[in-house]
Structure 1
Amino acid sequence: MKYRDWNEMQRKLEALYVLDNALTDPSEEYLRLIRKTEDGEKLHYRVDNGAGDSLSVIFTEKLVLVKGFAHESALNLFAKEQEEQSILNRIYAGLPEKYHHFFSPKEKRETTFFLWYDGELHQNSIAENDGGQWLLAYAFDSFEKFRDFAKDYYEQDFSESLLRKLYEEGGLSDKELEELIYGASSPSSQNNSSNVFPST
């Protein structure tokens, strides 16, 4: 199935997924930065930085949905004494009804910003608060940002040519991937709970 790809965002998230998947030991799933699922109707990437913030990007044939949750945002409903359903209604207003079921009620509550792209960008501004839109930096808009984040987050140097190929193509051959991560430190040395964010 061909998915709508908003400015090649899917390729960039796939590059991060391939790198993180290669460097995360299967026995230490809790260290994983990004997960990917596909069910034929949609392709879903979910970034969880371990510091209480998350980014979900769903690609469908017709549109791309982007949901972020920044725990320090003023729009964090968990930080309020009483849930404000009206805020969620405003955040998701205008989204075609057939796509609402992509997020459970709990997932919707974990929203501080939401947008979708169907050829045009749609976002409902709430009280002049971007709600954590900085999370979009995980879909790196330049190779240099991807490279610098990878080196800092995984605390190792990579072959720049292979890392660039991964970023530009969204994948590597098994041999190239092995060469890229050869000598990688154990995933257990990662500190996913630290406040590590890509630069914006």
Structure 2
Amino acid sequence: MSVHDVARMLPDPATLRDRCRALAVLDAALVGGPPFTYRFDGRWGPGQELASMDNGAGDQWSIVFAAAGVFVRGFDHESPLSPAGNDSGELWPGLVDTVPEAFAACVREPAFSLDDTLAATVCLWRETGDDRWRHGDVALPADGDDGADFLFGLLTDGTPEAYRDWAEGYYGRPVDLDAVREVFALRPVTPDLLRRLGARRAPEDLAGELARIGYPVRQDPA
């Protein structure tokens, strides 16, 4: 799977936002504390929200949700498309050449950069009102890929089952599928839901992260 496939398989922006929020809530519950693999910041900037992934091994993605639309960048540090993997330190040809002006600031965003160059091997966007995801005219090398498969697989699959399988391998312990389904359905977080997830943090310790995500919370009845 490459950027060409991701562009066909990503859901509409609203559904993508919900999936990103679900991943962030699950990560906040299952991890004992920062750093988190998946995060969602509903207050990232004026009129902007940021979903992000960082696996701690050099691979990342960022998704900016704004009035103008949605901008996606992914970075596989081992991909031959990485700007760190060539002598010029430049982005792969075609990757961002046709990014609309509405997302130009995202391409220059320091938080997404590596030595003043966008850290990206995958780049997509969708302007408000468009009916599909767009990407540049990128030709993949014969000896490697852009990392889109492992970077965005959970977002393109979008099922609780896929997340459960990933989480059990990543965290090395069972994860309750029904509880994961509730989060994917954006049902309010309750102490009971956290108990079934096997949360490593008390409900009150998650309050700040859930507020940042903008995720509903409900207290169990006494």
Structure 1-normalised TM-score?
Answer: 0.76
Secondary structure of 1:47's counterpart equals strand
Task: Please say if residues 13 and 138 of structure 1, whose CA atoms lie closer than 8 Å, have aligned partners that are also in contact.
Answer: no
Instruction: Specify the alignment match of 1:195 in structure 2.
Output: none
Task: Please say if residues 5 and 64 of structure 1, whose CA atoms lie closer than 8 Å, have aligned partners that are also in contact.
Answer: no
Q: Does 1:14 align with 2:21?
A: yes
Aligned partner letter, 1:113: V
Q: Which runs of 5+ in 2 are unaligned?
A: 1-10, 202-222
Q: Distance in 2 between matches of 1:7 and 1:61?
A: 12
Q: Distance in 1 between matches of 2:182 and 2:154?
A: 18
Count of residue pairs brought into register by the alignment = 176
Alignment of 1:7-156 (within 5 A): 8-26=15-33, 29-30=34-35, 32-37=36-41, 38=43, 39-84=45-90, 87=92, 90-103=94-107, 104=109, 106=113, 108-118=117-127, 119-128=131-140, 131-134=146-149, 135-139=151-155, 140-156=157-173
Residues 183 and 14 (structure 1), Cα distance of their counterparts in 2 relative to 1, 3 Å cut: closer
Q: Distance in 1 between matches of 2:30 and 2:98?
A: 39
What is the Cα deviation at residue 53 of structure 1? 0.9
Note the aligned Cα RMSD (angstroms): 2.5
Q: Distance in 2 between matches of 1:131 and 1:154?
A: 26
Q: Percent identity?
A: 25
Q: Which runs of 5+ in 1 are unaligned?
A: 186-200
Deviations 1:98-126 (A, max 9, x none): 32113425255311110112322211132
Structure 2-normalised TM-score?
Answer: 0.69
Residues 122 and 179 (structure 1), Cα distance of their counterparts in 2 relative to 1, 3 Å cut: same
Secondary structure of 2:88's counterpart equals coil
Instruction: Specify the alignment match of 1:192 in structure 2.
Output: none
